[in-house]
């Protein structure tokens, strides 16, 4: 068959360039693949869910309520999906996968950062990767708005509120993006369109570009490749050795997620109920908790007028700060312009400052995420209403600073240890002679 195809399509040329791409074998190099598998499973389960989901806010009889109270059709269709064989499972797998895709993507990003793989010539792929993360988050947020239960509608209202907080143009943007004043009848179809067409389209296009660039520029090589064959590409070819590894990993991973999904429910729409007159306690998923935390500890009195535009706390907390954070990540390859070492994954401890900045950064995100639990912290008397904001803000500055110096200190220690070790070994070797 290969020959038959080759005569018509010249696949052997494809074979040489792409299908025999060498993949480094190292566990930290599988994070990106896991992200890709999650995307594939998300698309598969998503297609199945879309077949039964009804993107509409029209009021229909609640299939769960014998009294026949009226609920939005979107919500009713979720109840129907739950009642389908494996319907609830599909929703759980979809939801779990989305969380995992985000998690794996973020860890993949950390690997790239800590091993210096973003450096020239791979800046473009670093940027594409960041865009992928941003759009994955957007896809996830539009996704958990779709069941249109009380939780989802509250979340959406907050999202619309944030979009509308942009000075001058916010009101217009909020209404243009969400089909009129919240909650308009066009709201659910609009978000549905984003979630199943626009955003996945962008994700797929970016993923394609990400892969192509990776094949063109090749992976950085893991450290052991240096000793094995200096400046040569070491790894297993995609066809046929890497493929079974990938398949096994994908199946194993998907199996694990399904197992999890079977036991741990996610987002039980029937518990939240249809949109009503009392908002439930809403929290975003883990990867947006930090934005939520910043919103929770910014005082609402932060608001001023400038040239007719209103600048308020929502704008600073949910648009400016994340914008700055993401902007900084984009700037990483521009800030670190050192172009030595384009072949090998760098040992993080050889670059203590980069390592320390990275870890301090995650510390800061962690503190902000904890701030997302501010109400709970206050309620359980760990913090007081009066001092919660101050304490959380101070920790958001002091803890990362401490982390920074701690990491630098530890790395120094490790290096000294390693150097004396080496010296002793040399001395011992010399003594042997």
Partner 1 sequence: MTKYRRADPEISRRKFINVALGTAGAVGGLGLVTALAGVRPPIRITASKVPAIAGDILVYAEGPDAGKPIDISKLNDKLTHAWPQGKDKTGAPVVRKDEPNNLLMVFKFAEAELVAPTDLKATDKGVVAYSGICMHLGCQVGNNASKPGTLLCPCHSGAYDPRAGCKVIGGPPPKPLSQLPIKIDGTGLAATGPLNAPYYGSTESDWASLLEEAKTI
Q: Which residues bind partner 1 (CB under 8 A)?
A: 154, 157-158, 160-162, 164, 172, 175-177, 179-184, 186, 276-282, 292, 295-296, 298-301, 303, 310, 312-314, 374-375, 378-379, 385
**Nearest to partner 1 of 200, 280 (CB atom):** 280
Output the smallest distance, CB 149 to partner 1, in A.
14
Output the smallest distance, CB 108 to partner 1, in A.
31
10 Å CB burial of residue 102 (0-12, 13-18, 19+) is buried
**Nearest to partner 1 of 40, 310 (CB atom):** 310
Output the smallest distance, CB 379 to partner 1, in A.
5
Question: What would the DSSP string read from start to end of 88-118?
Answer: HHHHHHHHHHHHHHHHHHHHHHHHHHHTTTT
Give residue for tokens 């700060």. 321
**Nearest to partner 1 of 121, 180 (CB atom):** 180
Give the Cβ contact number of residue 313 at 10 Å: 17
**Nearest to partner 1 of 57, 105 (CB atom):** 57
**Nearest to partner 1 of 53, 194 (CB atom):** 194
Contacts of 416 by beta carbon, 8 Å cutoff, 6+ apart: none
The 8-class DSSP code of residue 119 comes to S
Output the smallest distance, CB 306 to partner 1, in A.
15
Interatomic CA distance for residues 315 and 163, integer angstroms: 8
Q: Furthest-apart CA pair in the chain: how many Å?
A: 93
Output the smallest distance, CB 272 to partner 1, in A.
12
**Nearest to partner 1 of 3, 301 (CB atom):** 301
Output the smallest distance, CB 159 to partner 1, in A.
9
Q: Do residues 353 and 408 make contact, with C-beta atoms less than 8 angstroms apart?
A: yes
C-alpha distances in Å from residue 116, one per residue of 119, 127, 224, 347, 418: 6, 14, 16, 9, 21
């Amino acid at each position: 068959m290969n020959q038959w195809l080759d005569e018509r399509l010249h696949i052997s040329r494809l074979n040489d360039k792409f299908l025999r791409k060498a993949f480094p074998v190292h566990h930290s190099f599988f994070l990106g693949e896991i992200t890709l598998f999650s995307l594939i499973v998300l698309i598969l389960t998503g297609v199945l869910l879309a077949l039964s989901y009804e993107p509409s806010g029209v009021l229909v009889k609640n299939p769960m309520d014998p009294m026949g109270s009226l609920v939005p059709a979107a919500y009713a269709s979720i109840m129907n999906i739950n009642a389908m064989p494996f319907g609830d499972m599909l929703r759980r797998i979809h939801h779990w996968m989305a969380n995992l895709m985000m998690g794996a993507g973020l860890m993949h990003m950390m690997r790239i950062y800590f091993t210096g793989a973003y450096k020239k010539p791979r800046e473009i792929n670093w940027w594409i990767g960041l865009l992928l993360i941003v759009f994955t988050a957007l896809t996830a947020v539009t996704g958990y708005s779709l069941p249109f239960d009380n939780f989802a509608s509250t979340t959406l209202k907050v999202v619309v509120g944030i979009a509308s907080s942009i000075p001058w143009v916010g009101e217009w943007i909020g209404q243009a993006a969400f089909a009129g004043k919240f909650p308009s009848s066009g709201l659910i179809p609009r978000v549905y369109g984003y979630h199943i067409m626009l955003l996945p389209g962008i994700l797929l296009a970016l993923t394609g570009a990400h892969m192509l660039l990776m094949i063109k520029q090749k992976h950085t090589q893991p450290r052991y490749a240096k000793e094995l064959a200096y400046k040569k590409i070491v790894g297993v070819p995609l066809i046929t050795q890497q493929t079974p590894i990938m398949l096994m990993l994908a199946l194993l991973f998907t199996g694990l997620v399904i197992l999890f999904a079977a036991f741990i429910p996610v987002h039980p729409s029937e518990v939240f109920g249809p949109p009503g007159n009392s908002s439930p306690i809403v929290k975003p998923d883990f990867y947006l908790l930090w934005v939520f935390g910043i919103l929770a500890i910014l005082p609402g009195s932060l608001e001023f007028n400038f040239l007719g535009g209103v600048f308020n706390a929502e704008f600073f907390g949910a648009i400016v700060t994340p914008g700055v954070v993401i902007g900084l990540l984009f700037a990483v390859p521009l800030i670190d312009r050192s172009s030595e070492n384009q072949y090998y994954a760098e040992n993080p401890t050889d670059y203590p400052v980069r390592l320390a900045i990275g870890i301090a950064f995650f510390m800061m995100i962690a503190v902000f995420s904890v701030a997302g639990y501010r109400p709970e912290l206050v309620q359980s008397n760990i913090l007081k209403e009066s001092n919660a904001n101050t304490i959380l803000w101070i920790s958001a500055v002091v803890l990362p600073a401490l982390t920074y110096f701690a990491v630098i200190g530890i790395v120094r220690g490790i290096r000294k240890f390693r150097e004396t070790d080496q010296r002793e070994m040399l001395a011992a070797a010399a003594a042997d002679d």
